[in-house]
């Protein structure tokens, strides 16, 4: 019986490198695309358990901070 791993979402990033393209530019495109997938953020968040109440509190604090910034911007 095949073993099942958690997550299951295995996506491969394909970055076509054009003829004569600088490898640094292709690497930069890869890094940008990889950042957009959110893989590293997901791995870091899975390293430890965060209680739902702590998540909600962090969201409220962030929302208050953003609201404060917007109010300061209006003045």
Segment 16-41, tens digit of pLDDT: 998 999 999 999 999 999 999 999 99
* Number of residues that make up the chain: 75
Domain assignment present for residue 6? The answer is no
Domain assignment present for residue 13? The answer is no
Domain assignment present for residue 11? The answer is no
Domain assignment present for residue 17? The answer is no
pLDDT of the residue at 52: 96
Residue 43 lies in domain? 23-74
Domain assignment present for residue 4? The answer is no
| More reliable by pLDDT, 10 or 35 | 35
Share of the chain above pLDDT 70, in %: 87
The number of folded domains in the chain is 1
**In 10 A of CB 17, how many CB atoms?**
13
Domain assignment present for residue 16? The answer is no
- pTM reported for the whole predicted model: 0.53
* 8 A C-beta contact, residue 48 and residue 42: no
């Amino acid at each position: 019986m095949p073993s099942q791993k958690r997550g299951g979402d295995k996506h491969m990033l394909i970055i076509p490198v054009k003829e004569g393209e600088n490898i640094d530019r292709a690497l930069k495109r890869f890094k940008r695309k990889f950042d957009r997938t959110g893989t590293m953020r997901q791995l870091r968040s899975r390293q430890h358990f965060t209680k739902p109440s702590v998540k909600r509190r962090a969201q409220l604090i962030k929302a208050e901070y953003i609201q404060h910034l917007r109010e300061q911007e209006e003045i």
